[in-house]
Every structure is written in C-alpha cells, then in structure tokens.
Amino acid sequence: QQQVKQSPQSLIVQKGGIPIINCAYENTAFDYFPWYQQFPGKGPALLIAIRPDVSEKKEGRFTISFNKSAKQFSLHIMDSQPGDSATYFCAALPMYNTDKLIFGTGTRLQVFP
C-alpha cells in the first residue's frame, strides 16, 4: 500500500511562479520528512528535510510546510527557474526503522522561461 501519497503527478509553471507539491502520510511513526530532487539520468539528491517538531523550514528558495495534525507536508519553490525543472520526491523515515526511506510517487515539474 502507498504509505506516502504525493500530488500532483506533474506541474507546469512559468518562471517566477511558486509551484507547490503536496504529500500526505498515515503512519504516525514517521519522524523525518526529506524532499529529493532528481534530474534525468541522475540519482535523487537531498534538497531539504524537516522533523515534525517544527511547522516550517526554509532553505534558500525552498520551503517545507508541515501540518502534523493533518499528517501533510508540502514543498514550495519560490521564484522558480527553468533549472528547477526536475522530478521531486517526498519521503518519510520511520523512527523505528531508520534505514528505510519510504518515497512518494514523484512530481515532474517543468518551469518555462
């Protein structure tokens, strides 16, 4: 079963727009939520991560918003650029099994000039 649900499947924005990618989870044992960026032919690379004791984290143009009660978290990309065009994956790590990242299905983002 899908432990981490991600939407939308794909997203197209103009340069400067703010794409938002959403993820939801059921398992309350998850306690670490990273986002990965993957370019074609490359492996995923860690972008930003959050733990459930904070509601927001910003790193440069990337922001994670976290809603613990709703079991949802989202990635916002400010002032998006064509170079941000990639596939983005949310993930979750359970506190009882810290070796097993559970990934969402991915969102393909295209940023047009």
43 binds other proteins (CB under 8 A): yes
Q: Which is nearer to other proteins, 17 or 22 (CB)?
A: 22
**Contact predicate 48/59, CB 8 Å:** yes
DSSP string, 18-38: --EEEEEE--TTEEEEEEEEE
Q: By C-beta, is 41 or 83 nearer to other proteins? A: 41
Asked if 68 touches other proteins (CB under 8 A), the answer is no
Among the listed residues 77, 92, 104, 111, the single contact to other proteins using CB under 8 A: 104
- In the structure encoding, which two tokens stand for residue 63, read together? 């922001």
Q: Residue 48, interface with other proteins (CB under 8 A)?
A: no
- Size, binding site for other proteins by CB under 8 A: 21
Check binding of 89 to other proteins (CB under 8 A). Answer: yes
Residue ranges with strand state E in 51-106: 56-59, 62-67, 72-77, 86-94, 102-103
- Sort residue 62 into left (φ over 0), alpha (ψ -120 to 50) or beta: beta
Contact between 102 and other proteins (CB under 8 A)?
Answer: yes
Interaction of residue 24 with other proteins, rule CB under 8 A: no
